Amino acid sequence: MSKDIESHNPTSELGASPPRRASISQTDKGRWERLWPVIACGAGLFSDGYLNNIIGPVNTMLKTIYPDSYKNSSAQANVSSITFAGTVLGMLFFGYTSDHFSRKWSLLASTIIIILFATLGSGAYGAGGSPRGLLAALVAYRFFLGVGIGGEYPAGSVGCAESTGELKEGTRNKWFILFTNVQIDLAFLISAIVATIVVVITGENHLRVAWRVCLGIGILPPLSLLYLRIKLQEPEAFKRESLAHTKTPWLLVIKFYWYRLTIVSIIWFIYDFSAYSFGIYSTSILANLLGPSAPLWKSLAWNILINFFYMPGCLAGAFVADLPSMGPKKTLFIGVALQGIIGFIMAGCYPWLNKPENVAGFVVVYGVFLALGEFGPGDNIGLLASKTSATGIRGQYYGIAAAMGKIGAFAGSYALDTIQKNAGDDEIAAGRNPFFVASSLAFLAAGLVLLLPHVGQDTIDQEDLAFRVYLEDNGYDTSKIGLGGVSVTNVSVEDEKVEGKTEGA
């Protein structure tokens, strides 16, 4: 780590005592007043999980309805992946607005966009009723849907992280994870259940109705949060540390955070490369494994079990991340390293797992592979991204890291498709090679995790102070930081520089 960053790093593992500071947890709010903003800000990621994962079954339905339009074309990859392109744009745009204007209004705007384009996407009709026109319309709507989903990260997740700072010490990481990544994984499971039930009800002769119903149900989660988000207030950390009323010192920000942001971004890229691409194609993988004669509902039902494995992984990671002996960094490292090991085992055993009579074994091993991904990077990469930067630039920092993750997801969905196609008629290679790639990347991510700082319970408070001290040391006027009317510290920054001089040394 660069000397400049390490010398001002309050979360260094070298054992420095935290400086004196009025914690954001020291407010008159009751327990519910502290908790419901965490829920309102974070739970919107349920929409991300549902709308991204439901497209896997929907793609399988569209491929069944319009086989000629999908054959030898990029239609499947476009419908699956275009949301990620919109999400990247949304993350960068709302990352800027959430820092320079408002967390609350950025989050409300993204919610309205999700509701609008989820509605339009579920009723997509092509020009003249042609399959090509329908697919083009669906791609367009899902791009703008992605823009709305993108806002959930730098506005919603960041607001959630800042709100957890007001909760009881020793529970903050858990609550953040429960209302961010656990929501995504729960949505993955719910989307698999919804797809199966809808297909069973409509029958495979009415898939044109089924795929629209599956997408239409995605409107409900953001609608259910709309009222709570209207009632939201800006997080306490944002009120006192916002740079909205002053000029952002970009050169100082880059110098202070470039190294850390790069590491977080690469890890997120690797995680999403594997997690989202495998999630999107799991239905197709199962359909191929079960054979062409198997009914669609059967592959969808097996997909429920696959998605169920996300839950024990993400729930376990939520509680482990708060253990004093573990924390987010160690939990991420253990999860991603074990995932790499399981992935290589799965690749080696693929000739056996690929047999239809061994589909149960495939699902269990594949499920463990996915569960470890959620236990480690799934739960903790967003947590690290939200707590390893100062509040004043957290939305943009988080937005860039998350955007790199979505670029990984976008790249992964195409890479997986290309890897399978390049295998030609070799079914074993087509199924095994993606696991070789994903597992190799998992070990790379594990090594990168070791370069990140420790994240504790008071990291948000301490990171904000370290950044203030750094800015003042470099001649920046910090008097205009904050929205006004909020007590920042018990002592002045000058006093902190004297008393915290040896910090990180």
Beta-carbon contacts of 392 under 8 Å, excluding residues fewer than 6 positions away, are 99, 241, 242, 243, 248, 464, 467, 481
What the block records as the tokens of 334 is: 């253990």
Q: Measured between alpha carbons, how far is residue 236 from residues 161, 167, 433 in Å?
A: 11, 12, 48
Terminal CA-to-CA distance of the chain, rounded, Å? 13
Is 490 inside any structural domain? no
What the block records as the tokens of 154 is: 């730098």
Greatest C-alpha distance within the chain? 75
With 60 as the cut, is the pLDDT of residue 500 above it? no
The alpha carbons of the chain give a radius of gyration, in whole angstroms, of: 23
Beta-carbon contacts of 390 under 8 Å, excluding residues fewer than 6 positions away, are 241, 463, 464, 466, 467, 468
Is 100 inside any structural domain? yes
With 70 as the cut, is the pLDDT of residue 283 above it? no
- Considering only residues 370 and 279, tell me which one the structure prediction assigns the higher pLDDT: 370
Q: What is the pLDDT of residue 36?
A: 83
Please tell me the distance from the alpha carbon of residue 334 to that of residue 267, in angstroms, as a whole number. Answer: 14
Please give the average per-residue pLDDT across 314-338, as a whole number: 92
Please give the average per-residue pLDDT across 404-431, as a whole number: 80
Is 379 inside any structural domain? yes
Please tell me the distance from the alpha carbon of residue 156 to that of residue 45, in angstroms, as a whole number. Answer: 8
* pLDDT band of 267, cuts 50, 70, 90: very high
- Considering only residues 4 and 413, tell me which one the structure prediction assigns the higher pLDDT: 413
Q: What is the pLDDT of residue 123?
A: 78
Which one, of 235, 268, 247, lies nearest residue 388 by Cα?
268
What the block records as the tokens of 76 is: 């499947």
* pLDDT band of 487, cuts 50, 70, 90: very low
With 70 as the cut, is the pLDDT of residue 115 above it? yes
Q: What is the pLDDT of residue 328?
A: 92
Q: What is the pLDDT of residue 488?
A: 45
DSSP H helices, 101-130, are 103-122
Please give the average per-residue pLDDT across 131-146, as a whole number: 85
Q: What is the pLDDT of residue 360?
A: 79
Q: What percent of the chain has pLDDT over 90?
A: 37
Please give the average per-residue pLDDT across 113-129, as a whole number: 78
Q: What is the pLDDT of residue 183?
A: 93
Backbone angles phi, psi at 504, to 5 degrees: 80, 0
Q: What is the pLDDT of residue 59?
A: 83
Mean pLDDT: which of 3-12, 348-357, 385-394 is highest? 385-394
Q: What is the pLDDT of residue 364?
A: 84
Please give the average per-residue pLDDT across 401-422, as a whole number: 84
With 60 as the cut, is the pLDDT of residue 296 above it? yes
Is 243 inside any structural domain? yes
- Considering only residues 289 and 441, tell me which one the structure prediction assigns the higher pLDDT: 441
Contact (CB, 8 A) for 296 and 64: yes
Which one, of 306, 456, 324, 299, lies nearest residue 374 by Cα?
306
With 50 as the cut, is the pLDDT of residue 10 above it? no
Is 124 inside any structural domain? yes
pLDDT digits (tens, 9 = 90+) for 46-101: 988 898 888 888 888 888 888 877 665 666 667 767 888 899 999 999 999 999 99
Q: What is the pLDDT of residue 23?
A: 53
Q: Tell me the CATH number at 223.
A: 1.20.1250.20
Domain of 235?
A: 3-13+28-484
Please tell me the distance from the alpha carbon of residue 210 to that of residue 469, in angstroms, as a whole number. Answer: 57
- The model's pTM is 0.83
Contact (CB, 8 A) for 263 and 452: yes
Half-sphere exposure of residue 158: CA atoms within 13 angstroms, side-chain side: 38
Q: Work out how many domains the chain is built from and give that number.
A: 1
Least confident residue range of 63-67, 224-228, 419-423:
419-423
Please tell me the distance from the alpha carbon of residue 265 to that of residue 100, in angstroms, as a whole number. Answer: 22
Q: What is the pLDDT of residue 88?
A: 93
- Considering only residues 350 and 113, tell me which one the structure prediction assigns the higher pLDDT: 113
Q: Mean of the per-residue pLDDT values for the chain?
A: 82
Q: What is the pLDDT of residue 4?
A: 42
Q: What is the pLDDT of residue 126?
A: 57
Q: What is the pLDDT of residue 503?
A: 34
CA angle, 275 as apex, 273 and 278 as ends, to 5°? 95
* pLDDT band of 504, cuts 50, 70, 90: very low
Q: Measured between alpha carbons, how far is residue 369 from residues 283, 350, 374, 435, 449 in Å?
A: 16, 13, 9, 10, 19
Q: What is the pLDDT of residue 128?
A: 52
Q: What is the pLDDT of residue 74?
A: 64
Is 66 inside any structural domain? yes
Q: What is the pLDDT of residue 114?
A: 92
Residue type, 70: Y
Residue 479 burial (C-beta neighbours within 10 Å; 0-12, 13-18, 19+): exposed
* Dihedral in degrees, nearest 10, Cα atoms 428, 434, 437, 443: -100
Is 502 inside any structural domain? no
Q: What is the pLDDT of residue 338?
A: 93
Q: What is the pLDDT of residue 139?
A: 85
Please tell me the distance from the alpha carbon of residue 400 to that of residue 404, in angstroms, as a whole number. Answer: 6
Q: What is the pLDDT of residue 72?
A: 57
Q: What is the pLDDT of residue 120?
A: 87
Q: What is the pLDDT of residue 288?
A: 63
Report DSSP letters for 438-492, one per residue: HHHHHHHHHHHHTTSPP--TTHHHHHHHHHHHHHHHTT---TT-SSSS----SS-
Please give the average per-residue pLDDT across 379-407, as a whole number: 93
Please give the average per-residue pLDDT across 448-475, as a whole number: 90
Is 380 inside any structural domain? yes
What the block records as the tokens of 125 is: 């009709």
With 70 as the cut, is the pLDDT of residue 347 above it? yes
